[in-house]
């Protein structure tokens, strides 16, 4: 027997008219040509006519079956179609069988299937056995692709080898399988936990995100009830409401605290929905859950930052008004002391008034530090040297019962800060640690360089990527619980008894660090001590050290214009300056100051002005006056800066500033310094630099 040609070696097409019209039977391996032994077995008494009639009837039945079959059926011989049924015509996009008969069979196969078809034909020729079902891709006459499932049976057709091929359209099945694979890939790769249970609530499927979130493997979870995650943080009413909702056919949305395999708790936001079959009966439940533990932590930090910002604005406003009042008290008290003399019996009382006012002023400075409105003059500092310079004082603050350990990092580590602020941070943290230890204990101060990336910043509010110097202050005191940690940086919050603390120490630390673009992280637990980590940006830029101020109470004879809308400060300031020998002109508003300058015939050597005033601020006033009096110098004073002469409380270079409240010594030294300085600072031709790069220069 000559084996049929392979699809890859197809002979010239056979004309349709030369193909005899003999319809095959579906009998596997049976010769289908007319006159072959396909005739049903007839008894020996049957006549030839009866046998012929039976054969015709059998062929008609088989033809009717094949023609009516819903699946495509064809006979291909030597690589060409020799029979096709109507279903195959429809499948391949032919309107009649003539469009396919005699056509090259390979031309309707997808290129990637040719090798497989050749292999199957070769095996059938060698073994004579039917080919198993296989998935293939056929090409319709219009060139579109169609997924099919096919099997082939070797037969004899008109006494020649051929193949009877059955073809089924499986496009819908393939599409469903592809969709199922996409859904499965989406579930497997989803970042949210997906759990599918049966109608009784037993777990049938969990995705990798569930395994990661819960710590339970698939093997451990499948077959279990989701209650294996139960934490005890919710009451029974929540679970009852959940089950009632989903079994009634509705979707449940909510949050719950679950417990991982290792016992740790985590919060999930879940959507649990029923899944119905074709009859509408609930057969499954699907839960899509998202771990929001980190989100809730960041949200709490954000709300805390908002609360601190609001309290800071309030504290700054209170401190400003309080400083104005203290200025009046301190100024009048000093005037009284100078008037009565040191030997007068009320001199001691006046000293006590001044001392109390100074202590009150220290509290307002802490408030301003917290509110980030404290005026600072930052310089480049070696951080280790700055801390080491405070150790002697810190040991006195701690007392003999507490051992202080100093563990600096090696190398040069610089920061841009006001030196007094480092002292404030260390003093406040040390006092806080001393009170937490309350007896014999240990305190460790350590520094080191750290580089912070995005991952760290994602879990630490206020942190930004960069290089920092980290100051760590660790004590072995009583520690703090989570509730206390939420409030420790709020002003006036304290766990100490009445009269034992102002509640401003840690608030001051928070404000100073924030003002210097740093942040604070605290680690603490009851009876396990506390560690404050203070992160301050590293700085490599050089800067000149601050100039030394002249001795206190120098005098002068120049003319000074004092502009202040607060009457008590205006009166006391004028009196203090006159004691020092100066001629003083006063104005209650910027408009009044402009009139005085325009009307005054003599020289005006110095403008001393409040920063925040109605109608026009001190900076704008100075700009106007240098146009009228080119030789005038200026000195700003304020209870806080309000970002008018400083940005975030950082004093602009070359700007002279006197913080309220101030006494005779402070105003005497500052005024003399401004009048006598040789640099361009304080003169009208010195640019007034404001935040954002704008320069205001006198004309």
Q: What is the mean pLDDT of each run of 10 residues along the chain (699 residues)?
A: 40 36 38 38 52 65 84 89 92 91 89 88 82 90 92 84 90 88 88 93 94 93 92 89 93 93 92 92 94 80 64 64 78 81 82 79 61 63 87 83 88 79 85 86 91 81 85 90 80 59 72 86 89 89 48 81 89 89 94 92 92 86 89 83 55 75 84 77 41 29
Any idea what the CATH number is for the domain that residue 657 is in? 3.40.50.2300
Q: Are residues 638 and 533 in the same domain?
A: no
Q: Are residues 287 and 306 in the same domain?
A: no
With CA atoms as reference, report the closest residue to 611 among 634, 580, 586: 634
Q: Are residues 276 and 306 in the same domain?
A: no
Could you count the other beta carbons within 10 Å of the beta carbon of residue 41? 8
Any idea what the CATH number is for the domain that residue 155 is in? 3.30.450.20
Could you tell me if residue 589 is inside a domain? Answer: yes
Beta-bridge mates of residue 285: 197, 274
What's the pLDDT at 166?
93
Helices 293-340/567-579 angle, 10° precision? 50
Question: For residues 480 and 530, is the Cβ–Cβ distance under 8 A?
Answer: yes
CA 83 – CA 105 distance, rounded (Å): 11
CA 546 – CA 459 distance, rounded (Å): 38
Q: Are residues 326 and 232 in the same domain?
A: no
Beta-bridge mates of residue 265: 259
Q: Are residues 592 and 655 in the same domain?
A: yes
Could you tell me if residue 429 is inside a domain? Answer: yes
**Helix %, strand %, coil % of the chain (to 5):** 40, 25, 35
DSSP 219-243: HHHTTS-GGGGB-S-S-HHHHHHHH
Enclosing domain of residue 106: 16-174
66-71 contact pairs (CB < 8 A, 24+) = 66/23, 66/24, 66/25, 66/26, 71/166, 71/167, 71/168
- Of 322, 338, 365, the residue that ends a domain is 365
Residues for the chain: how many in total? 699
Which residues, in sequence order, are CB contacts of 305 under 8 Å at separation 6+?
461, 462
CA 676 – CA 554 distance, rounded (Å): 11
CA 339 to chain centre: 64
What's the pLDDT at 646?
62
Q: Give me 560's structure tokens.
A: 């000074």
Question: For residues 645 and 618, is the Cβ–Cβ distance under 8 A?
Answer: yes
Question: For residues 588 and 610, is the Cβ–Cβ distance under 8 A?
Answer: no
CA 657 – CA 660 distance, rounded (Å): 10
What's the pLDDT at 130?
86
What's the pLDDT at 393?
78
Angle in degrees, CA 103, 109, 113, rounded to 5: 145
Question: For residues 577 and 598, is the Cβ–Cβ distance under 8 A?
Answer: no
Q: Are residues 466 and 594 in the same domain?
A: no
The total of structural domains in the chain comes to: 5
CA dihedral 384, 386, 388, 391 (to 10 degrees): -140
Q: Give me 516's structure tokens.
A: 């210097």
Q: Are residues 526 and 457 in the same domain?
A: yes
CA 8 – CA 114 distance, rounded (Å): 7
With CA atoms as reference, report the closest residue to 370 among 425, 417, 316, 304: 316
Which 3 state secondary structure label does DSSP give 68? helix
Could you tell me if residue 1 is inside a domain? Answer: no
Q: Before 661, cis peptide (omega within 30)?
A: yes
Helix H, strand E, coil C: the string for 11-78 is CCCCCHHHCCCCCCCCCCCCECCCCCCCCCCCCCCCCHHHHHHHHHHHHHHHHHHHHHCCCEEEEEEC
Could you count the other beta carbons within 10 Å of the beta carbon of residue 577? 23
CA 105 – CA 61 distance, rounded (Å): 27
| Consecutive H or E run containing 293 | helix 293-340
Q: Are residues 409 and 533 in the same domain?
A: yes
Q: Give me 45's structure tokens.
A: 């008494």
With CA atoms as reference, report the closest residue to 600 among 624, 588, 613, 583: 583
Query: 446: exposed, middle or buried (C-beta count within 10 Å: 0-12, 13-18, 19+)?
Result: middle
With CA atoms as reference, report the closest residue to 96 among 86, 108, 81, 82: 86
- Of 291, 309, 325, the residue that ends a domain is 291
Could you tell me if residue 440 is inside a domain? Answer: yes
Q: Are residues 470 and 586 in the same domain?
A: no
Task: Please give the radius of gyration of the chain, using alpha carbons only, rounded to the nearest integer.
Answer: 47
Could you tell me if residue 4 is inside a domain? Answer: no
With CA atoms as reference, report the closest residue to 604 among 579, 636, 620, 626: 626
**What order do you get walking across the sheet with 402-407 strand by strand?**
402-407, 441-452, 466-475, 530-537, 519-524
Q: Dihedral of CA 107/108/111/114: which sign? A: negative
- This prediction has a pTM of 0.43
Q: What secondary structure letter does DSSP report for 95?
A: S
CA 107 – CA 159 distance, rounded (Å): 26
Q: Give me 86's structure tokens.
A: 């109507």
Could you tell me if residue 530 is inside a domain? Answer: yes
Q: Are residues 469 and 383 in the same domain?
A: yes
Query: E strands along 483-547, which residues?
Result: 519-524, 530-537
CA 268 – CA 270 distance, rounded (Å): 6
Cα–Cα distances in Å, from 130 out to 77, 134, 162? 15, 12, 12
Could you tell me if residue 516 is inside a domain? Answer: yes
Which residues, in sequence order, are CB contacts of 204 under 8 Å at separation 6+?
196, 197, 198, 222, 284
CA 163 – CA 77 distance, rounded (Å): 6
Could you tell me if residue 179 is inside a domain? Answer: no
Q: Are residues 324 and 255 in the same domain?
A: no
Q: Are residues 489 and 462 in the same domain?
A: yes
Cα–Cα distances in Å, from 625 out to 285, 347, 413, 566, 631? 78, 41, 44, 21, 10
Q: Give me 480's structure tokens.
A: 């703090």
- Of 273, 291, 309, the residue that ends a domain is 291
* Residue environment code for 491-507, b if the CB has 16+ CB neighbours within 10 A, otherwise e: bebbeeeeeebbbbbbb
Parallel/antiparallel/unpaired status of strands 606-610 and 559-563: parallel
What's the pLDDT at 52?
60
Any idea what the CATH number is for the domain that residue 385 is in? 3.30.565.10
């Amino acid at each position: 027997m000559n084996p049929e040609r392979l699809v890859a070696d197809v002979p010239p097409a056979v004309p349709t008219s030369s193909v005899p019209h003999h319809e095959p039977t579906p009998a596997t391996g049976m010769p289908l040509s007319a006159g072959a032994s396909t005739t049903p077995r007839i008894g020996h008494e049957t006549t030839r006519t009866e046998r012929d009639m039976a054969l015709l009837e059998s062929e008609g039945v088989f033809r009717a079956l094949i023609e009516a079959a819903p699946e495509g059926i064809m006979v291909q011989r030597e690589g060409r179609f020799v029979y096709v049924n109507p279903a195959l015509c429809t499948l391949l996009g032919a309107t009649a069988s003539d469009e396919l008969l005699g056509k090259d069979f390979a031309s309707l196969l997808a290129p990637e299937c040719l090798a497989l078809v050749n292999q199957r034909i070769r095996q059938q020729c060698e073994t004579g056995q039917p080919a198993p079902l296989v998935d293939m891709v056929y090409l319709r006459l219009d060139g579109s692709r169609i997924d099919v499932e096919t099997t082939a049976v070797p037969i004899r057709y008109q006494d020649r080898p051929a193949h009877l091929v059955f073809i089924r359209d499986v496009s819908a099945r393939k599409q469903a399988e592809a969709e199922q694979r996409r859904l499965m890939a989406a579930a497997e790769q989803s970042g949210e936990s997906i759990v599918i249970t049966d109608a009784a609530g037993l777990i049938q499927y969990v995705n990798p995100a569930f395994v990661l979130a819960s710590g339970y493997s698939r093997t451990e979870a499948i077959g279990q009830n989701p209650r294996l995650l139960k934490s005890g943080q919710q009451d029974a009413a929540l679970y009852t409401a959940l089950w009632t909702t989903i079994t009634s056919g509705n979707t449940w949305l909510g949050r719950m605290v679950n417990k991982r395999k290792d016992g740790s708790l985590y919060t999930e936001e879940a959507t649990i929905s029923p899944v119905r079959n074709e009859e509408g009966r609930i057969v499954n439940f699907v839960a899509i859950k998202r771990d929001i533990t980190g989100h809730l932590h960041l949200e709490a930090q954000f709300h805390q930052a908002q609360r601190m910002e609001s309290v800071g604005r309030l504290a700054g406003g209170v401190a400003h008004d309080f400083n104005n009042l203290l200025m009046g008290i301190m100024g009048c008290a000093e005037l009284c002391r100078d008037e009565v003399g040191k030997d007068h019996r009320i001199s001691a009382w006046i000293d006590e008034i001044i001392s109390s006012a100074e202590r009150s002023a220290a509290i307002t400075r802490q408030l301003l530090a917290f509110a980030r409105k404290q005026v600072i003059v930052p310089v480049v500092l070696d951080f280790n040297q700055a801390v080491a310079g405070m150790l002697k004082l810190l040991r006195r603050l701690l007392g003999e019962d507490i051992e202080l350990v100093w563990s600096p990092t090696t190398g040069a580590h610089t920061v841009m800060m006001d030196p007094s602020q480092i002292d404030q941070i260390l003093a406040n943290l040390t006092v806080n640690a001393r009170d937490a230890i309350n007896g014999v204990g240990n305190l460790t101060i350590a520094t080191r360089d750290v580089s912070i990336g995005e991952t760290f910043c994602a879990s630490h509010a206020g942190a930004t990527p960069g290089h920092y110097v980290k100051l760590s202050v660790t004590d072995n005191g009583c520690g703090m619980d989570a509730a206390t940690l939420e409030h420790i940086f709020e002003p006036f919050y304290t766990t100490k008894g009445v009269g034992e603390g102002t509640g401003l120490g840690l608030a001051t630390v928070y404000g100073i660090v924030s003002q210097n673009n740093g942040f604070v992280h605290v680690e603490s637990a009851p009876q396990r001590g506390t560690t404050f980590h203070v992160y301050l940006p590293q700085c490599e830029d050089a800067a000149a050290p601050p100039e030394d101020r002249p001795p206190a109470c120098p005098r002068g004879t120049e003319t000074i214009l004092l502009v202040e809308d607060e009457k008590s400060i205006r009166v006391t300031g004028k009196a203090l300056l006159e004691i020092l020998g100066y001629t003083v002109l006063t104005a209650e508003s910027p408009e009044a100051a402009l009139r005085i300058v325009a009307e005054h015939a003599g020289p005006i050597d110095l403008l001393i002005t409040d920063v925040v005033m109605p109608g026009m601020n001190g900076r704008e006033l100075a700009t106007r006056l240098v146009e009228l009096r080119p030789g005038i110098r200026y000195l700003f004073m304020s209870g806080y800066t309000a970002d008018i002469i400083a940005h975030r409380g950082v004093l602009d270079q070359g700007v002279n500033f006197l913080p309220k409240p101030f006494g005779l010594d402070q105003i005497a030294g500052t005024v003399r310094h401004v009048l006598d300085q040789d640099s361009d600072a304080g003169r009208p031709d010195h640019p007034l630099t404001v935040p954002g790069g704008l320069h205001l220069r006198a004309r």
